[in-house]
Amino acid sequence: MDWLMTQPWPWWLSGILIGLTVPVLWLLTGKWFGVSTSLQQLSCTITPNSNLEYFRSHDRQAHAWTLLFVLGMAAGGWIASQWLASEPVQFLPSNFRSWPGAVLLLVGGALVGFGARYAGGCTSGHAITGIANLNWPSLVATVCFFIGGLAVTWGLGGFLFGTFLGLE
């Protein structure tokens, strides 16, 4: 029980559990796994009388479950970090607890949300569901996600976090 509660799980076990989420969600609900639709759902909920076609054409009732799904993921992550870890995990590192850090997180979150919708789905939707369905545009999107992530991690990220904002 100690291994299950306080030790990191092996990467392969986590991968299998995430991979099983796709068919289980499909079999139980008939819905595809993905998170970015929740951003559209949240926007539609906040602006129910929007004149934008993107929001007007969205079926709020059919996608209401996505908000609960994302809320459950966040709650599960918080519960695991507080009670299933040997030490509580800080969600926000101290160098982001400043105005420049908060602005960076806000802008970064908005860019990720926009990019996910522009790409027709998020990394989980494309990489897990799309590739599992042999959808070649999802493979292309996933490769681009990884290239972008590597470019920021090994290049632009050092400049942004270190030199430019002094958050290193």
Token pair of 69 as six digits: 């799904």
Helices marked H in the chain: 2-6, 11-29, 37-46, 53-56, 65-83, 99-118, 123, 131-132, 136-151, 157-158
pLDDT score of 58: 80
Q: Could you report the per-residue pLDDT of 17-33, keeping only the tens digit for each?
A: 888 888 888 888 888 77
pLDDT score of 165: 53
pLDDT at residue 94 is higher than 80: no
pLDDT at residue 91 is higher than 70: no
pLDDT score of 143: 92
pTM as predicted: 0.64
Please tell me the distance from the alpha carbon of residue 150 to that of residue 168, in angstroms, as a whole number. 18
Beta carbons within 10 angstroms of residue 56's beta carbon? 12
